[in-house]
Amino acid sequence: MIGKIAELLTARAWKPVDIDTIVGRHHYACVGYATDADVRTAAASGGAVTALLLHLLESGRADGALVCMTAVEGGSVRARYHIATTPAEVLAARGSTYVLGDFVHDAIPLIESFPGRLAVVGLPCEITALSRRPQLADKVVCRIALFCGHATRPELVDALTERLADEAGSELVSFRFRMGAWRGRMHAGFADGTTIERPSSAYLLYQNLSYFIARKCLACGDHFGYDADVCAGDLWSHRYKSEPVKHTALIAKTPCGAEVVRSATDGGALVAREVPVTDVLDGQRRIAPFHHNVTARHLAGKRLGVTLPDRGQRVRWHERLAARMALKAYLESGDIDDARRLLGRPRWRLKLRLYLQKGLESLS
Ligand SMILES: Cc1cc2nc3c(=O)[nH]c(=O)nc-3n(C[C@H](O)[C@H](O)[C@H](O)COP(=O)(O)OP(=O)(O)OC[C@H]3O[C@@H](n4cnc5c(N)ncnc54)[C@H](O)[C@@H]3O)c2cc1C
């Protein structure tokens, strides 16, 4: 009830110019999920991205899919790229890896050396990096961008998993940031067979406050993947909370993307229903405009000694204040000791801070 009221109070009227600048070109939007319930288990949202990749592989349109796995190496969680050529490998990459990988150095060489046609999933900045390499255009048959608020540096997850490993008394061997319905659960598996599960907010509270945000994300305003064929993300609208199946929001951005989503739906891999693009924006109504407004961070950064580009965007007082809060969190995020101290802070205070930040982002 409270969530519904908050949503009504913070409803936005999206102008065509907002849609054009924040989302970019697009053909249509839909909400949906992977038809196969087994595909949806372990997916970040509705498993639609995995369903699209499986459809591209199984229909023979792609010989492989560039995916990003949440890998655990020597007890540390890292983002690792891999070219999946079988359904099992695509399924193994389900879920969101919030810690930043090095796409240009680690993923681009994999794409360059792969002998066949590829589908590529990446963050909006990664899809842009791919699009800047025209020599790869013929090889990449579909570019899927995840909606992206920002990615985090590894120190935050290292401090968190260090705590969990201490609690378990064993080495971390597997990790998922987020699985299951609505906000989702975080899972950690240990060498002695024990597992620890927490609400995904055990990590996302800090991420949403912009602690340990990757530096490059401060200067990025691309939430929906301007250069992608399809983009995919969550639906954080209250009306989807009670749905028995979690949905993924999809926006077809190019004729290629529109055709891939339609053929995956017609072929039975995906259940999808067309919606106005504003329904998708409603589900991102705080984060998307906040993320897009680089100038707000530029102005806030001037006073805090953080140099960021000015994109000439309109900035209102509350946007500048919200940007200042994010930049202060960024400045408090140095090394792993800072992350350990952060995790020791009372969560109720951080939650209050998050509500204040969300309140500022909600004013329109
Ligand atoms: C850093 C980050 C920030 C995000 N921010 C937002 C946000 O602000 N709002 C929102 O609505 N959604 C956001 N998402 C996207 C969201 O978490 C889901 O990935 C999306 O809803 C797709 O869900 P799905 O169940 O269809 O995907 P799944 O079927 O679970 O498939 C996910 C696919 O994404 C790939 N992938 C996962 N992590 C990465 C990564 N770091 N880099 C490249 N590829 C990756 C995997 O290889 C996998 O193929 C973010 C994701 C990430 C990784």
The CATH number covering residue 128 comes to: 3.40.640
How many whole angstroms from 292 Cα to the centroid of ligand 1? Answer: 18
How many whole angstroms from 146 Cα to the centroid of ligand 1? Answer: 5
Give Cα separations from 67 to 44, 50, 64, 90, 258 (angstroms). 14, 10, 9, 7, 21
Q: Whose CA is nearest to atom 43 of ligand 1?
A: 122
Type of residue numbered 106: D
Whether the CB of 83 sits within 6 Å of ligand 1: no
Whether the CB of 147 sits within 6 Å of ligand 1: yes
**308 within some domain:** no
**335 within some domain:** no
Quote the pLDDT of residue 246. Answer: 87
**204 within some domain:** no
Number of separate domains in the chain: 1
Quote the pLDDT of residue 235. Answer: 85
Q: Measured from the CA of 223, which atom of ligand 1 is nearest? A: 8
What does the alpha-carbon distance between residue 148 and residue 183 come to, in Å, rounded to a whole number?
A: 16
**89 within some domain:** yes
Burial of 186 by CB count in 10 Å (0-12 exposed, 13-18 middle, 19+ buried)?
A: buried
Please name which of 138, 102, 139, 136 lies closest in space to residue 122, comparing C-alpha atoms: 102
What does the alpha-carbon distance between residue 145 and residue 207 come to, in Å, rounded to a whole number?
A: 20
Whether the CB of 43 sits within 6 Å of ligand 1: yes
Quote the pLDDT of residue 27. Answer: 95
Per-residue pLDDT of the chain (364 residues; tens, 9 = 90+): 666 666 666 777 899 998 999 999 999 999 999 999 999 998 999 999 999 999 999 999 999 999 999 999 999 999 999 999 999 999 999 999 999 999 999 999 999 999 999 999 999 999 999 999 999 999 999 999 999 999 999 999 999 999 999 999 999 999 999 987 777 899 999 999 999 999 999 999 999 999 999 999 999 999 999 999 999 999 877 777 777 788 999 999 999 999 999 999 999 999 999 999 999 999 899 999 999 999 999 999 999 999 999 999 999 999 999 999 999 999 999 999 999 999 999 999 999 999 999 999 888 6
φ, ψ of residue 121 to 5 degrees: the values are -105, 140
**249 within some domain:** yes
Q: Whose CA is nearest to atom 41 of ligand 1?
A: 97
**310 within some domain:** no
Q: Measured from the CA of 98, which atom of ligand 1 is nearest? A: 1
Please name which of 157, 163, 146 lies closest in space to residue 66, comparing C-alpha atoms: 146
List alpha helices for 209-316, DSSP H.
215-218, 255-266, 277-282, 287-292, 294-304
Whether the CB of 159 sits within 6 Å of ligand 1: no
Domain range holding 263? 2-149+214-277
What does the alpha-carbon distance between residue 137 and residue 115 come to, in Å, rounded to a whole number?
A: 14
Angle at 120 between CA 50 and CA 56, to 5 degrees: 55
How many whole angstroms from 113 Cα to the centroid of ligand 1? Answer: 25
Burial of 38 by CB count in 10 Å (0-12 exposed, 13-18 middle, 19+ buried)?
A: exposed
Whether the CB of 47 sits within 6 Å of ligand 1: yes
Q: Measured from the CA of 42, which atom of ligand 1 is nearest? A: 30
Whether the CB of 257 sits within 6 Å of ligand 1: no
Quote the pLDDT of residue 231. Answer: 98
Round the CA-based radius of gyration of the chain to a whole number and report it.
20
Burial of 241 by CB count in 10 Å (0-12 exposed, 13-18 middle, 19+ buried)?
A: middle
Q: Whose CA is nearest to atom 42 of ligand 1?
A: 122
**351 within some domain:** no
How many whole angstroms from 75 Cα to the centroid of ligand 1? Answer: 22
Q: Measured from the CA of 90, which atom of ligand 1 is nearest? A: 49
Whether the CB of 342 sits within 6 Å of ligand 1: no
Q: How far apart are the first and last CA of the chain?
A: 22
**295 within some domain:** no
Whether the CB of 96 sits within 6 Å of ligand 1: yes
Is there a contact between 125 and 216 (Cβ–Cβ < 8 Å)? yes
